[in-house]
A and B are shown apart, each in its own frame.
Chain A
Amino acid sequence: MMKKALLVSLLIMSLALPLFASGAQEATGPVTITFWTHEDPNRTALEDRYIAEFQAANPDVTIERVTNSSKKMPELLLTAFAANEGPHIFNTQIEDGYAYIANGRVAPVNLGAAGFKSVKDLKASYVDGVLDAVSEDNNVYGLPLELTNWAPYLNKQIFRDAGLDPEKDYPKTWEDMVAVSQKIVSREGEIITRRGFDFRYPYYLVSMVPMVEQLGGKLVSDDGKTAIVGDEAWLKFLQFMADWGPNGLNLGSPTYKNGRKLFNSNNNDMGMAMSGLYQAGRIRADNPDFYNSGDWMVIPFPQFEDAVEDVASAYYGHFYMVNSQKADREQKVAWEFITYMLSHSEEYLTEVGLIQPTKALMSSETFANIPYADVFAADMAKGNIVYYAENSAKIQELIKEAVEGVMLSGIAPEKALASLKVKAQEVLDQE
């Protein structure tokens, strides 16, 4: 009796499930495109408008744009794709996105929908090399929402306070950076209350690997088989970081607040901070007085005095991609919509500070008129795309371990390097 009652209850519950349900998409007729992206208030306003315009021009298309925290996007996408329920369109950093290409989860750019005759034409419309990260088997699997590189933002007033002329005395080399920072830094005991400059510590691949490359070292050999190439370069870099840290000259540390966040406030606590072109827009929003004062500038990514390669910050990118599990018609509409959005690259630049590196944009007057865009463009020409692979997050974690080891734990650079080499090689061999 009890068993029967239980079975009946379960049956009723399962039949009642659809009552809770939201509607599923019809297989034919009007098409709904799901579009998952990360939170960015300025971009949201822009893309909501593009959606409205695209829907007006295509009445049978509905675009459902969903924003989530960028920190949560990788997890969300992984789960959704594992359940074969991924969105039509999504964007993610190339370090995370590459795995989707490698595993065949994303569709190549629909050239017709994107308005190109061939892959060659598509690539020719972008700055050389920027689509390499999303190119496989003569196909292109993503279009850049943004490619970003970093350069130091400089607070002129803090320079003047330290008796420096920002226009002349700005650091051109990493050795200059040390000397200038020593003049700017203020401390209460051992605690730094004003830093001259500090690094963006969580992002070792973007901002620190280029320093090693300047000295002739490499993260991974050209054939992709050996990790941490060029002991001398790596040792010099690690020694530089050890000297920079609290056990050395005490100029900065990963334990302090992110310099980029402090810079906008102009609280006399951050002389220089590493950031992208988008930072200018953030200064304008956070502190219009500072933005309009002209008391800030951007300088090129410094080089080591004895650099053997002229390398600037790496650039990282977000690429719009399309789910290959969706129907052909839906993929085509998705690419049409992406193409429509990306046809407004000048607006993305002026309103959000995002660079979509088409040749047309980079040579436009709009780009030329953005303050310090020339500095970023010149640096980008000297930079490489950030290391991306299925193991890139793990490799970055290992570099972090080495850098924090020499800076905070007093580990000798030689020992840190030996450990880094072994562990990074293990990770590389697992690929």
Chain B
Amino acid sequence: MSTIAIQPRTSRMISPVTILIYLILLGALIFTLIPIVFMFSASMMPSKDILKMPFRWIPRGFHWQNFAKAVAGNDGSYIFIRNFMNSMIVSGIVTLTTVILSAITGYGLAKFRFKGRNFVFLAIMATMMIPFEAIMIPLYMVATKFHLQNSYGGLTLPFLVNAFGVFMMRQYLLPFPDEFLDATRIDGAGELGIFWYVVLPNCAPAIATLSILTFRSQWDNLLWPLLIAQSEKMKTLPLYIVKFSAEKYTNEGAMMAVAVLASIPMLILFFTMSKYFVSGSAVFNSRKG
């Protein structure tokens, strides 16, 4: 049994550069957190207090009516619950398919040699250069021709896989040892079996990172659901939030309360998967084993 010798810590002078870096980071942290703190704080205040200058960061009490209004909605229909579920379903479906399809495609592009492999990869990458607004109208036309308005199909189909996901998974799998795959083939495993039982479990950090990024982008997606979901029952949370901004009047308190409620799933997702997410930063690092 070996013992580990613990080195006594030596006190070191913190350099001015380090202090400066920490100060910059602290500034960036405050800058990032202010809107979030404002959202939480304002969600607990009556609208009258939200508009008061200077802004009182600590609410005088908990104005629960904001949350009641947020859940009940302008018309008291409680459609919030359905819209919340829609967001969960749409984000969940898109995340699942993006991860699986991106992993399969990324694996194919990283580990299989075939004619035109680089062209296929570049063609997929080229789609990242096209802004969504440019394809929005033709996409809407296709969706309406297939009568996909007000359906989960319409909400999810355009996003089932994305180029960034393919790129990310390919980059992650490039350094994966070929010898390991060959050994598994010699043992008699089929290609799908290799992918499912060997490759996928080794991609956990990349999958977690891609999941968070995809889920978040769908959770926040406003433009496509705005076009395709015209039924109140099929709307998603971003559409529900903007309804509190009526033409002549904005209910800031209720709007902030909905924003708080809408943030909860993202916060849970981020904090439960953050350790993988951090590891995911190594996705683009070479890690030849």
Contacts from A to B (Cβ < 8 Å): 17-24, 34, 36, 38-41, 44-45, 48, 64, 66-72, 75-76, 79-80, 82-85, 193, 257, 261-262, 264-265, 267, 269, 276, 278-279, 282, 286-287
Q: Interface 1/0s, chain B 243-264, versus A by CB < 8 A?
A: 1011111100000000000000
Query: How long is the Cα–Cα vector from A80 to B247 in the complex, in angstroms?
Result: 21
On chain B, the residues within 8 Å of A76 by CB distance are: 226-227
Q: Contact at A22–B147, with CB atoms within 8 Å?
A: yes
With beta carbons under 8 angstroms apart, the residue of A21, A80, A82 that contacts B151 is A21
A45 to B147, CA, bound (A): 29
Q: A20 near B157 (CB under 8 angstroms)?
A: yes
Contact of A41 among B74, B141, B146, B151 (CB under 8 A): B74
Pairwise interchain contact B147-A82, C-beta atoms closer than 8 A? no
Enumerate B218-253 residues with CB–CB distance to A below 8 Å.
Answer: 222-223, 226-227, 230-232, 239, 242-243, 245-250
Which A residues are in CB contact (< 8 Å) with B230? 34, 36, 64, 66
A44's closest neighbor in chain B, by CB? B75
**Distance to closest chain A CB from B45 (angstroms):** 12
Q: Of the listed stretches B7-15, B48-56, B196-204, B275-283, name the one at the interface; the rest are far from the partner chain.
A: B48-56
Known contacts A36-B230, A69-B243, A267-B52: A83-B144 contact under CB 8 Å: yes
0/1 per residue, B142-168, Cβ < 8 Å to A? 001011111111100100000000000
B58 close to chain A: CB less than 8 A: no
Check: B120 CB closer than 8 A to any chain A CB: no
Q: B47 in the interface, Cβ–Cβ < 8 Å?
A: yes
Q: Which of B147, B152, B227 meets A18, CB within 8 Å?
A: B147
Give complex CA distance A173, B80 in Å: 48
Q: Which residues of A lie under 8 Å from residue B150 when comparing CB positions?
A: 22
Q: Tell yes or no: B140 within 8 A of A by CB.
A: yes
State which of B74, B148, B227 has its C-beta within 8 Å of the C-beta of A80: B227
B267 at the interface (CB under 8 A from A): no
Measured CA separation A40–B47 after assembly (Å): 18
Contact (Cβ within 8 A) B51 A67? no
Q: Contact at B144–A282, with CB atoms within 8 Å?
A: no
Is B247 a contact partner of A70 (Cβ separation < 8 A)?
yes
State whether A85 touches B75 (Cβ < 8 A).
Answer: no
Question: Would you call A79 and B247 a contact (CB within 8 A)?
Answer: no
**Residues of A contacting B148 in the complex (Cβ-Cβ under 8 angstroms):** 17, 20-22
**What are some 12 contacts across the A-B interface (CB < 8 A)?**
A20-B152, A21-B151, A24-B147, A39-B74, A66-B232, A68-B243, A71-B242, A79-B136, A79-B227, A84-B141, A85-B140, A267-B48
**Nearest-CB residue, chain A, relative to B157:** A20
Residues of A within 8 A of B153 (CB): 17, 19-21
The answer to whether B239 and A68 have CB atoms under 8 Å apart is yes
Residues of B contacting A21 in the complex (Cβ-Cβ under 8 angstroms): 146-148, 151, 153-154
- Establish whether residues B51 and A39, one from each chain, have CB atoms under 8 Å apart when the complex forms: no
Query: Given known contacts A20-B152, A69-B242, A79-B227, is B47 in contact with A286 (CB within 8 Å)?
Result: yes
Beta-carbon contact of B226 and A269 below 8 Å: no
B137 at the binding interface (Cβ < 8 Å): yes
Say what secondary structure dominates the interface of chain A: mixed
Task: Specify which chain B residues have a CB less than 8 angstroms from the CB of A279 in the assembled complex.
Answer: 248
A269 adjacent to B53 (CB under 8 Å): yes
Chain B contact residue count (CB 8 A cutoff): 38
Which residue of chain A is the closest to B52 with respect to CB atoms? A267
Q: Are B147 and A23 in contact, CB atoms less than 8 angstroms apart?
A: yes
Give every chain A residue within 8 A of B147 (Cβ-Cβ).
Answer: 18, 21-24
- Say how far B245's CB is from chain A's closest CB, in angstroms: 6
B242 near A72 with CB under 8 A, answer yes
Contacts of B149 in A (CB 8 A): 22
Residue in B51, B232, B247 whose beta carbon sits within 8 Å of that of A38 in the complex: B247
Residues of chain A lying within 8 A (CB to CB) of residue B239: 68
B246 and A40: CB pair below 8 A? yes
- A64 CA to B233 CA in the complex, in Å? 12
A79-B246 contact, Cβ under 8 Å, with A20-B152, A44-B74: no
Determine if B247 and A40 form an interchain contact, defined as CB atoms under 8 angstroms apart: yes
Chain B min CB distance to A207 (Å)? 15
Are the C-beta atoms of B141 and A83 separated by less than 8 Å? Answer: yes
Quote the shortest CB–CB distance from A161 to chain B (angstroms): 17
Query: What CA separation (Å) do A76 and B226 show in the bound complex?
Result: 7
Residues of A within 8 A of B222 (CB): 72
Q: In the complex, which residues of chain B have a beta carbon less than 8 angstroms from the beta carbon of A79?
A: 136-137, 140, 227
Chain B minimum-CB-distance residue to A318:
B247
Bound complex: CA A261 to CA B253 (Å): 13
**CA A79 – CA B133 in complex, angstroms?**
10
Bound CA–CA A34/B231 (angstroms): 10
Whole-angstrom CA separation of A71 from B136 in the bound complex: 18
B140 and A287 contact, CB distance less than 8 A: no
Chain A residues within an 8 Å CB radius of B231: 64, 66
Q: Using Cβ atoms and an 8 Å threshold, which residues of chain A touch B47?
A: 265, 286
CB distance from A278 to the nearest CB of B (A): 5
A79-B136, A80-B227, A193-B53 known; A45 vs B75 contact (CB < 8 Å)? yes
What's the nearest-Cβ distance from chain A to residue B146, in Å? 5
| C-alpha spacing A45/B246, complex, angstroms | 14
The residues of B that contact A17 with a CB separation of less than 8 Å are 146, 148, 153, 157
Known A79-B227, A85-B141, A269-B52: A22·B151 in contact at CB below 8 Å: yes
B8-52 residues with Cβ-Cβ distance < 8 A to A are: 47-48, 51-52
Q: Is the CB of B246 within 8 A of A41?
A: yes
Q: How far is the CA of A71 from the CA of B247 in the complex (A)?
A: 8
Query: How far is A86 from B87 in the complex, measured between Cα atoms in Å?
Result: 25
B242 touches A41 (CB 8 A): no
Which B residue's beta carbon lies closest to that of A25? B147
The complex places the Cα of A36 from the Cα of B242 at a distance, in Å, of 15
Report the Cα distance A24→B154, complex, angstroms. Answer: 14
Complex Cα spacing A23 to B144, Å: 11
- Residues of chain B within 8 A of A264, CB atoms compared: 48
Known interface pairs A19-B153, A20-B152; 10 further A-B residue pairs with C-beta atoms within 8 A, sorted by A's residue number: A21-B146, A21-B153, A38-B246, A66-B230, A76-B226, A85-B140, A257-B53, A262-B51, A278-B248, A286-B48
